[in-house]
Chains A and B, each alone.
Chain A
Amino acid sequence: MTLPATSTPATDAELIARWLSGDQRAAGELVQRHAGPLARFAASLGVRDEVDELVQDTFVRAFQSLDSFRSDSALRTWLFTILKRLLLDRKRAERRRRDVAELDERDAATEYDALDTLVGDETAARIRGAVNGLTPLQREVFTLRVNEGMAYAEIAEVVGSTEGACRVHYHNALRAIKERLSDD
């Protein structure tokens, strides 16, 4: 006798319920599903050596309060929000260590590092330069849109802005990159 093939993967909400009732393997599926996108988000914002640590801290933070997670909001949105918050906390701590006076969140966000990886060709190098030149909010929005194809409403939740503003940030970012590409 053969079991019917399970074609539909479990939803995040189902995996959360399974984990809460003691099924540790459900955590494995959730981590497999979201670790890559979280790492890509962090790396796109210029995080280099600490991507692993940042993603791990995000999951630990999330799982510590998973029983209070509202299943009507997407786990993915929540995880990205946690990662962004942790990243800003780190940037702020870095600034403090450098004896700079307390700064507000927006200033801390200007600390995103440049993408300095070796890129294959001139076009990629120009895109990298253009991304580095985006404002922090433009970069966050553009990254989430390009990497995850997130809807503006979800992006707005992650970056703490409005849907309309995120749409504008995305199009401005896209225009800046296109202009950079058309530069001689």
Chain B
Amino acid sequence: MTECGKDTLRDQLPLLARDALAAEAAARVRAHVAGCAACAAELAVLERAGALFTAVTPAVDTAAILRALPTPPGARPVLTVQRGGRRQARIPQYVLAAAASLVLVATLALPTIRSVFNGGPVVVVDSGIPSVPTVPVDLVGGANLSDLGVDELTALLAELDRFDGTVAVEPVAMRQAVNGDFGGDL
């Protein structure tokens, strides 16, 4: 029985044909092929077939492929990360910080605005956040709520109503959220 009958050497023939064997292994297989007509014939077929397949293969535009690829997750401003087999969206910290600030200001101002608009005393709504100021809040540019007309106050209240009830977190929890501490690595 020839050595190639065990199939181990013969299995190397495609690799030899494509010049993909390490020097030592290639020398060993070539030494066998030199004395084995069956393997020599097979190697010849493999070399010709390989050349044929290469001849029919067009060049590939790798630059075009790279342009078509998605951006790496680590380079995206908004990350998608794998955790427990599910994709989860991560909001950038600056967005969280801005949103938290806006909600905080809106919540603090809401009872005051309501109170002023209704003409009654300022009532502190339990928003979970202590020490809401009981004096009218200065608006941007130094204007006072009492300077605003009914229409302006109505519009302002409608705007703030969109935030109504959104803050039910302790400042500590909010700070954790802003710092990206969701209880797991992202």
A90 at the interface (CB under 8 A from B): no
Determine whether the beta carbon of B68 is less than 8 Å from that of A59.
yes
Determine whether the beta carbon of B53 is less than 8 Å from that of A56.
no
Number of A-B contacts (CB under 8 A): 120
A75 at the interface (CB under 8 A from B): no
Which residues of B lie under 8 Å from residue A145 when comparing CB positions? 14
Q: In the complex the two chains form, what is the Cα distance from A183 to B162 in whole Å?
A: 84
B50 at the interface (CB under 8 A from A): yes
B172 at the interface (CB under 8 A from A): no
Determine whether the beta carbon of B54 is less than 8 Å from that of A40.
yes
Q: A40-B54, A147-B18, A147-B53 in contact; A174/B42 too (CB < 8 A)?
A: yes
Determine whether the beta carbon of A146 is less than 8 Å from that of B58.
no
Provide the A92-131 mask, 1 if CB < 8 A to any CB of B, else 0.
0000000000000000000000010101000110011001
Determine whether the beta carbon of B45 is less than 8 Å from that of A56.
no
Which residues of B lie under 8 Å from residue A38 when comparing CB positions? 60
Determine whether the beta carbon of A51 is less than 8 Å from that of B50.
no
Q: A22-B75, A40-B53, A127-B49 in contact; A60/B64 too (CB < 8 A)?
A: no
A55 at the interface (CB under 8 A from B): yes
B106 at the interface (CB under 8 A from A): no
Provide the B58-73 mask, 1 if CB < 8 A to any CB of A, else 0.
1011101110111111
Tell me how many residues of A have a C-beta within 8 Å of chain B: 48
B140 at the interface (CB under 8 A from A): no
Determine whether the beta carbon of B51 is less than 8 Å from that of A51.
no
Which residues of A lie under 8 Å from residue B65 when comparing CB positions? 31, 35, 55-56, 59-60
Q: In the complex the two chains form, what is the Cα distance from A24 to B15 in whole Å?
A: 32
Q: In the complex the two chains form, what is the Cα distance from A68 to B66 in whole Å?
A: 20
Determine whether the beta carbon of B56 is less than 8 Å from that of A44.
yes
Q: A124-B48, A127-B52 in contact; A35/B72 too (CB < 8 A)?
A: no
B137 at the interface (CB under 8 A from A): no
B74 at the interface (CB under 8 A from A): yes
Q: In the complex the two chains form, what is the Cα distance from A52 to B141 in whole Å?
A: 61
Sort chain B's interface into a size bin. Answer: 35 or more
A63 at the interface (CB under 8 A from B): yes
B95 at the interface (CB under 8 A from A): no
Q: A27-B72, A60-B69, A63-B69 in contact; A181/B45 too (CB < 8 A)?
A: yes
B22 at the interface (CB under 8 A from A): no
Which residues of A lie under 8 Å from residue B61 when comparing CB positions? 52, 56
Provide the A48-64 mask, 1 if CB < 8 A to any CB of B, else 0.
00011001100110011
Q: A35-B62, A117-B56, A147-B18 in contact; A56/B48 too (CB < 8 A)?
A: no
Q: How far is the CB of A120 from chain B (nearest CB, A)?
A: 8
Provide the A148-182 mask, 1 if CB < 8 A to any CB of B, else 0.
11010000000000000000000000100110010
Residue of A39, A68, A115, A178 near B45 (CB, 8 A) is A178
Q: Which A residues contact B (CB, under 8 angstroms)?
A: 19-24, 26-28, 31-32, 35-36, 38-40, 43-44, 51-52, 55-56, 59-60, 63-64, 67-68, 115, 117, 119, 123-124, 127-128, 131, 142-143, 145-149, 151, 174, 177-178, 181
Across the A-B interface, give the 10 residue pairs with the lowest CB-CB distance, nearest first. A22-B74, A149-B15, A22-B75, A43-B57, A21-B74, A149-B14, A44-B53, A117-B56, A40-B57, A35-B60
